[in-house]
Amino acid sequence: MTRPDPLPSTGKRHPIFARVFARAGPAMDAQGALEHRRALLAGLAGRVLEVGAGNGLNFPHYPATVTEVLAIEPEPYLRRQAVAAARQAPVPIRVLAGTAEALPAPDGAVDVVVASLVLCTVTDLDQALAETRRVLRPGGRLRFYEHVRAEDPRLARWQDRLQRPWEWLVGGCHPNRDTVAGMTTAGLRLVQLDRFNLPAMPPLARPHVLGVAEWGRSTRCKEGRNHADDRGEEPAVGQAGPDRPGDPGDPRGDRVVAEGNPVGHHRGAQGPRRAHP
């Protein structure tokens, strides 16, 4: 089910890059990105807001347990394509004009926010993450799949040097943005994090992250592994737990955010970089 776009243009137009992106998406998926998209969305349930939905590449992969997706896309050409893709999606999707810095959703309206190769392009990362916190219910989660600043100092220096021409060529993308650090600064608690290189991308944009951050709970992050592997810690994403109201199997809550197939068990194109043995 798709509803008409009720909002005016956001003013964000990248007509040439938008067309290049729409053509490049299937090729990137064929070279490894599709596996990451599927891992990003696996096990989601409830109400989801996708920031920067582009032309709707994620839409076919939302599980049937998702009750509704609010798909936000500022670029008009990509948004029109997203509307068409939403008609074929397995779950109800509303495609809206809007930006990450001013999400068209009420406070605490969604169970999960999905960000897929978009946070590199937002004008104000701090404001975008503040908006993510605002629209998430307490205990809600941000699922993210992004390319980020390199951990290799030499590549990071090149990302800094070439940031301005890259931004101009690639629709406002910042290849040197430390998105994960921005999340923790914004008060989101990292739950799971995988780092890997995606060979299908140009060198400046190869370092990627795939993970989960949470708003409103005290959690410890595990890089590259399920955080239930350590005795005494809370259950992994998607596992039932007696102290997590609303999780599957918990009789105390009827608001289910069952996020199965933890991304900490997902293997990147070259395997995740694991912080622990």
Q: What angle do CA 233, 235, 240 make, to 5 degrees?
A: 150
Task: Give the domains, in start order, of the chain with CATH numbers.
Answer: 15-265 (3.40.50.150)
Burial of 107 (0-12, 13-18, 19+ CB in 10 A): exposed
CB–CB of 67/92 below 8 Å? yes
Q: CA 168, CA 146: separation in Å to the nearest integer?
A: 19
Q: So what's the pLDDT on residue 170?
A: 83
Query: Which residue's entry shows tokens 């609303």?
Result: 246
Q: CA 65, CA 53: separation in Å to the nearest integer?
A: 19
Q: So what's the pLDDT on residue 273?
A: 43
Q: So what's the pLDDT on residue 22?
A: 67
Would you give per-residue pLDDT tens digits along the chain (277 residues)?
A: 444 344 444 446 566 777 776 677 677 766 778 999 999 999 999 999 999 999 999 999 999 999 999 999 999 999 999 999 999 999 999 999 999 999 999 999 999 999 999 999 999 999 999 999 999 999 999 999 999 999 999 999 999 999 999 988 888 899 999 999 999 999 999 999 999 999 888 999 999 999 999 997 654 566 663 333 332 333 333 333 322 323 333 322 222 233 333 343 444 444 444 333 2
Verdict on whether the full-model pTM lies above 0.85: no
